[in-house]
Structure 1
Amino acid sequence: MRPEHGSAAGLGAGDVDFAEPQVVATGLEAPWGLDFLTDGSALVAQRDQGTVLRLRPGRPTVQVARIAGVVAGGEAGLLGLAVSPWYLLDRWVYVCFTTASDIQIVRFRLGAPQSQQVILSGLARASVHDGGWIAFGPDGMLYAGIGDAGVPASAQNLASRNGKILRIRPGGGVPADNLFPGSPVYSYGHRNVQGLTWDTRGRLFATEFGQNTWDEVNLIVPGGNYGWPVVEGPSTDPRFRAPVVVWTPAQASPSGAAFANGTLFVAALRGARLWAVPVSAAGQVGTPSAELVGAYGRLRTVERAPDGSLWVATSNRDGRGTPTAADDRGLRFTTGERQPPPAGRVGFHADSARP
């Protein structure tokens, strides 16, 4: 199926060929977090099953881990996944998930997935608004978007770790240079952050589900207050940082995010499209355009691979979509040109950040 948007030649925003995707996997069950190993294959978390699969183009999908303690239900389950930037040295894979009582981040090695090290625990969980996206930044620290777990007031409470973006060391400690001493809180006033990605200048962008009116993309700064639940969407209140992009929930419900070729790509669930947002070298945000509108249904995840291609995972079996026989799918879109990995991806090394 060809997408509705993009040029006749098939090249859309960010010079990505959206016309001819490679189907990497079919029959997935609500895939969520996705990241790449050093050989270019991908690991993907299945939310409701609590399993991690390995995806390789042209080869069968293989289950490589089942995460102990995952309790799914509603929007909860096995959520974010991130591969250590030093994977060749330490072999760590990180996941974020809901247990029966909390949200946890653990790390494990593929050779012994039953041996999990807890990195962070005790965060409030719910059947909605758990957030759960995790990603390594260009500073080698692990960032986590944690939702308000259905308690909006938590987002403005600095004593709570919910409704926040957290920044922790790979081994789980609080970095000494965090703005709030002794606290993993990096930014606050968030409702439900699910996408975290950095541009080539090291600027952090996050996607966020609004309540009824506005979904957001925010440019994240240390200690920034993004307004929830006092404001949703655009605001001139000087206490809060305003979003750089807004959409209605019907257009977006934004989840995963990734940068490629000066473009911020945002996977939309309810909007059933891939938003492409141009971002200049100076950080100025242009007018978004839509790719893949209605072509593959609900889109949960977009990630940039080490070879420069974009991988997209659908989310039609998450209880809110209309799946086809092939769903859920892992799709690979490329320009055919190898690109250097963006900040914070596999291959980045910063010895000072290692645990």
Structure 2
Amino acid sequence: AALAACTSAVSAPERTASPVDPTGPLVSQSIVPIDGVVTGLDFAANGDLFYITQNGGVYRKAAVDGELQNDEPPRRLLQLAVAEGTETGLLGLALAGDFADSGHLFLFYTVADEAGAPAGARLERYTLQTNQLTAPVAIVTNLPATAEQQYHYGGALQLGPDGRLYLIFGDRNILPEARDPSTLPGSILRYNVDGSIPADNPFPGSPVYAYGIRNGFGLAWDGAGRLYETENGASCDDELNLILPGADYGWGVHPYDSCPYPDDTGQPPVQQWTQIIAPAGLTFYDGQRLPEFAGDLLLCAFNQSQLRHLELNEAGTEVVREEIVTVPGIIDPCRVVVRSGPDGWLYMANGRMIHRLGR
């Protein structure tokens, strides 16, 4: 499936939701009309919504007293020149842990050459000043991207509970690289916020945190601090993975046209979909408006434009229940991005609108 990356940040902004009846009927609201594919969103502690589009736009929709209002239009903070393609462009967004004081946020994107083709990928830090993002600082610049490889860049960017930056960098459609932990493609990368390599990374001197990744699109931590990733297979075997430091997730050995893939190598997935759904963004719901989802995982199934609810066992190693969530009034609610908001609403995006689900 061809889709862009997404993020689900882990910062824990203050809860400002108004009291609601948790037994009332589900309602959906259309919050932000969008121009382009939303590839990431995050919230500030005051409830402001930040989101990015694949074509290079960075936007903020301001909250009023901690609540997003339909009549408050979003403001574009930055328009980056990016190499925009089917799976390239502006792909990752994460607000700094001290955003309220520093105004720092992080962006991951593919750089364009003079012809507009990919000429590298980078991670940059920007500073919010009034209604503009300024003072760009390139903190990671050695990520390969070329005109010959325009697929599988991943791009999900996440600030972890440990204060480190986590980035999915896909295999770029070059299988052997994913299975080699000495290369960056096909990996989940972990950096300090200044772009340096944490001393406790599993491979000394390397940002590689886990490898054997084909085409990952979502990262999220559960309430116990466990990291999960969604991954798209080739023609079968999409995956939900529990990410362990230094683990090999198997891609780069499996025959490209073998369905199902051999299961004798790599870390086994928590969930596997042999008939592909293209799992994309994921989040663990931590609000009060939807108690039936409390602590559970929700993800976007890109191919069907569905929102799916997955309940895991206590160890977080097995899916014990999976269901398709009906979003009132919206037949295709969730394609790339889903996020539990600080106001208790569940936010998601399709190709036209950012919606929210709640009571």
Structure-2-length-normalised TM-score: 0.80
Distance 1:67 1:121, change over 3 A: farther
Q: Identify if the C-alpha distance between structure 1 residues 333 and 297 changes in structure 2 by more than 3 Å, giving closer, same or farther.
A: closer
Separation (CA, whole Å) in 1 of partners of 2:193 and 2:79: 19
Secondary structure of 1:153's counterpart equals: helix
Q: CA–CA distance in 2 between the matches of 1:331 and 1:241?
A: 35
State the shift of 1:229 in Å: 2.1
Alignment of 1:221 with 2:244, yes or no, is yes
The worse-fitting range, judged by mean Cα deviation, of 171-180 and 109-118 is: 109-118
2:124 counterpart letter in structure 1: V
Equivalent position of 1:313 in the other structure: 349
CA separation of 1:16 and 1:76: change in aligned 2, threshold 3 A: farther
Secondary structure at 1:131 match in 2: coil
1:67–1:113 Cα contact (<8 Å) kept: no
Match of 1:245 among 271, 274, 277: 271
**Offset of residue 60 of structure 1:** 3.3
Once the two structures are overlaid, the 10-residue window that deviates more, 50-59 or 89-98, is 50-59
Determine if the alignment matches structure 1 residue 295 to structure 2 residue 295. Answer: no
Whether contact under 8 Å (1:187, 1:223) holds in the other structure is yes
- TM-score of the pair, normalised by structure 1: 0.81
Q: Deviations over 1:199-244 (max 9, x none)?
A: 000000000011001111000000010000223876542x410111
**Aligned residue identity for 1:142:** L
Q: CA deviation at 1:248?
A: 4.0
Does residue 118 (structure 1) correspond to residue 138 (structure 2)? The answer is yes
Shift of 1:298: 5.4
Please tell me the residue identity of whatever aligns with 2:80: A
Distance in 1, Cα, partners of 2:108 & 2:127 = 15
Q: Which residue of 1 aligns with 2:31?
A: 24
d(CA) in 2 for partners of 1:157 and 1:18? 50
Residue 16 of structure 1, CA deviation: 9.9
User: Structure 1: which amino acid aligns with 2:32?
Assistant: A
Match of 1:331 in 2: 355
Given that residues 277 and 285 in structure 1 are in contact (C-alpha distance below 8 angstroms), is that contact kept between their aligned partners in structure 2?
yes
Q: Which amino acid aligns with 1:242?
A: P
2:307 matches 1:274: yes
Distance 2:170 2:260 in 1: 16
For the aligned residue pairs, the C-alpha RMSD in angstroms reads 2.1
Separation of aligned partners in 2, 1:144 and 1:161:
11
Q: How does 1:110-189 map to 2 (within 5 A)?
A: 110-111=128-129, 112-125=132-145, 126-189=149-212
Aligned partner of 2:39: which letter? Answer: W
Provide closer, same or farther for how the CA distance between residues 22 and 211 of structure 1 changes in structure 2, counting only shifts above 3 A: same
Asked if the contact 2:311/2:319 (under 8 Å) is kept, the reply is yes
Shift of 1:43: 0.7
Please give the secondary structure, in 2, of the residue aligned with 1:99: strand
Residue in structure 2 matched with residue 343 of structure 1 by the alignment? none
Residue 286 in 1 paired to residue 320 in 2?
yes
AA aligned opposite 1:295: I
Percent identical among aligned pairs is 33
Question: Match of 1:41?
Answer: 48
Partner SS, residue 176 of structure 2: helix
1:108 has 2:126 as partner: yes
The answer (yes or no) to whether the contact 1:136–1:143 under 8 Å persists in 2 is yes
Between the aligned partners of 2:199 and 2:24, the Cα distance in structure 1 is: 43
What's the secondary structure of 2:167's corresponding residue? strand
Deviation, structure 1 residue 140: 1.0
Q: CA deviation at 1:121?
A: 1.7
What is the CA–CA distance in structure 2 between the aligned matches of 1:310 and 1:65, rounded to whole Å? 24
* Unaligned segments of structure 2, at least 5 residues: 1-21, 62-67, 113-118, 286-293
> Which piece of structure 1 moves more, 276-285 or 37-46?
276-285
Equivalents in 2 of 1:233, 1:39: separation in Å? 46
Task: Report SS of the residue matched to 1:132.
Answer: coil
The 1:124/1:307 distance shift into structure 2, 3 A limit, reads same
1:85 to 2:84 alignment: no
| Cα 1:122–1:289 shift into 2, 3 Å | same
SS at the partner of 1:88? helix
TM-aligned CA distance change 1:67 to 1:158, over 3 Å:
farther
Q: Would you say the 8 A contact 2:59–2:78 is kept in 1?
A: no
Please state how far the C-alpha of 1:274 moved relative to its aligned partner.
Answer: 1.0
Distance 1:307 1:280, change over 3 A: farther
Q: SS in structure 2 opposite 1:82?
A: strand
Q: How far apart in 1 are the matches of 2:50 and 2:232? A: 25
